[in-house]
């Protein structure tokens, strides 16, 4: 695909416009984080509800301090895991417009490792707000062509190839009593616990009546294809189904399983990977769900992966969000 030029994207950003940029997780819709009107444009283009905060992307600790207050634990984590797919929730600075954080007193900050995104951050010289480059509730794009299909050629898109991880960053809250993972991602809970030497909670904390939600966007069902998805707790359950028809579509973990299923079922079969490696499954996750939509079947059948370690927790989290039925 012939995307926009690097210079064109930088100039558009500095002029208060939106551009799509590659990151190592998924493609993002970027704008100047400190410009309220530019941020409004992102919410409008994505049709994102205004109570769903954006992640601010920074080059380094210095840019992070322009929008957030960093405590010693945050600095340790940044030194170890940045640049990379770790988003930290921190107290926000007043200079950051309230629409970025959907009115919350906290801000989500991360430093992406994708070389093109980093060049843009360096040239622009200030933080960029960048939610995933999909219309609200659709699957996140992991290559430039998918962004083009969503938003058309009016939007400048910097083509950085296929995303390395394919699922969104790990979101770690550092503003509550104990650190807690609000969204599992490529950096696993165990890795963070080992590094910090303390227990990390996972899941959204319960909020008291009248208190704002800790992470508004995460309560919504999203990351979903158009076709209904039924989720099973293991793949054997799908293998045992007897009433499937040609209106059904099964997504197997890897190519090796396809002949076995096809020999005994009229359902269409796709797979998430060639190798069965969790990293490859994550990289192909959204593109495979999009491909499944293409066949316009009545129901997509997928199963949680065994295990919860590494990136598997993130894959299973997204499969749960994609499913409407279980
Ligand atoms: P994305 O759509 O991938 O950009 O992810 C944004 C998500 O990060 C939001 O839907 C929230 O769940 C989470 N997030 C962003 N800012 C905050 C914040 N200040 N506090 C808690 N969660 C946040
Ligand atoms: Mg998103």
Condensed to tens digits (0 to 9), the pLDDT of residues 63-97 reads 999 999 999 999 999 999 999 999 999 999 999 99
Position in ligand 1 atom list of the atom nearest CA 108: 16
Q: Which ligand is nearest to the CA of 204?
A: 1
Q: Which residues contact 69 (CB under 8 A, 6 or more apart)?
A: 90, 91, 92, 93
Whose atoms come closest to the Cα of 96: which ligand? 1
In a domain, 12, yes or no: yes
Question: Looking at ligand 1, which atom is closest to the CA of residue 52?
Answer: 10
Question: How far, in Å, is the centroid of ligand 2 from the Cα of 27?
Answer: 10
Ligand 1: which atom is nearest the Cα of residue 218?
12
Average pLDDT of the chain is 94
pLDDT of residue 209 exceeding 80: no
If you measure from the C-alpha of residue 182 to the centroid of ligand 2, how many angstroms do you get, rounded to a whole number?
14
- 193 and 236 together in one domain: no
Residue of 216, 221, 223, 321 to mutate, ligand 1, most atoms within 8 A of C-beta: 216
- Same structural domain, 111 and 238: no
List the domain range (segments joined by +) for residue 278.
229-322
Q: Which residues pair with 57 in a beta bridge?
A: 110, 128
Classify residue 14: in a domain, yes or no. Answer: yes
Q: Which atom of ligand 1 is nearest to the CA of 217?
A: 10
Nearest to 111 by CA among 138, 145, 74: 74
Residue 72 CA, ligand 1 centroid: distance in Å = 22
* Residues 170 and 271 placed together within one structural domain of the fold: no
Same domain, 158 and 265: no
Q: What is the pLDDT of residue 214?
A: 62
- Based on the structure, what is the number of domains in the chain? 2
Q: Tell whether 174 is covered by a domain.
A: yes
Domain boundary among 152, 186, 202: 202
Q: How far is the CA of 116 from the centre of ligand 1 (A)?
A: 23
Q: Answer whether 298's CB lies under 8 Å from 230's CB.
A: no
Is the same domain home to 235 and 91?
Answer: no
Q: Tell whether 240 and 138 lie within a shared domain.
A: no
Domain of 288: which CATH number? 3.40.50.11030
pLDDT digits (tens, 9 = 90+) for 145-158: 999 999 999 999 99
> Which CATH number characterizes residue 178's domain?
3.90.870.10
pLDDT for 222 equals: 63
Residue 211 lies in a domain: no
As a whole-number percent, the residues of the chain with pLDDT over 70 amount to 94
> For ligand 1, atom 2, which residue shows the shortest CA distance?
131
Place of tokens 């109570």: 51
In a shared domain, residues 174 and 244: no
Task: Select from 69, 105, 171 the residue to mutate for testing ligand 1; criterion: most ligand atoms less than 8 Å from CB.
Answer: 171
| Cα 87 to the center of its chain, rounded Å | 11
Q: What is the pTM of this model?
A: 0.94
* Residue 83 preceded by cis peptide, ω within 30: yes
């Amino acid at each position: 695909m012939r995307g926009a030029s690097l210079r064109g994207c930088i100039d558009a950003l500095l002029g208060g416009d939106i551009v799509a940029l590659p990151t190592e997780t998924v493609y993002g819709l970027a704008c100047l984080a400190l410009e309220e009107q530019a941020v409004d444009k992102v919410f409008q283009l994505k049709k994102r509800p205004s109570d769903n905060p954006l992640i601010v992307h920074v080059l380094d600790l210095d840019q992070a301090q322009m929008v957030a207050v960093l405590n010693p634990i945050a600095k340790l984590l940044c030194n170890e895991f940045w640049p990379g797919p770790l988003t930290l929730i921190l107290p926000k600075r007043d200079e950051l417009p309230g629409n970025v954080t959907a009115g919350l007193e906290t801000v989500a900050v991360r430093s992406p490792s994708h070389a093109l995104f980093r060049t843009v951050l360096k040239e622009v010289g200030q933080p960029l707000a960048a939610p995933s480059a999909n219309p609200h509730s659709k699957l996140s794009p992991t290559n430039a062509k998918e962004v083009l299909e969503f938003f058309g050629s009016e939007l400048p898109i910097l083509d950085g190839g296929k995303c390395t991880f394919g699922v969104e960053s790990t979101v770690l809250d550092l503003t509550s009593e104990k650190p807690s993972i609000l969204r599992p991602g490529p950096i696993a809970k165990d890795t963070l616990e080992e590094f910090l030497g303390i227990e990390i909670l996972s899941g959204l904390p319960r909020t008291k009546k009248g208190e704002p939600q800790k992470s508004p966007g995460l309560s919504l069902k999203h990351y979903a294809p158009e076709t209904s998805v039924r989720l099973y707790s293991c793949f054997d359950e799908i293998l045992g189904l007897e009433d499937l028809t040609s209106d059904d579509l099964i997504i197997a973990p890897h190519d090796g399983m396809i002949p076995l299923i096809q020999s005994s079922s009229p359902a269409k079969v796709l797979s998430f990977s060639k190798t069965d490696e969790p990293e490859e499954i994550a990289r192909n996750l959204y593109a495979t769900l999009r491909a499944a939509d293409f066949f316009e079947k009545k129901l997509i059948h997928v199963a949680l992966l065994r295990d919860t370690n590494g990136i598997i927790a993130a894959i299973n989290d997204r499969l749960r969000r994609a499913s409407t039925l279980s």
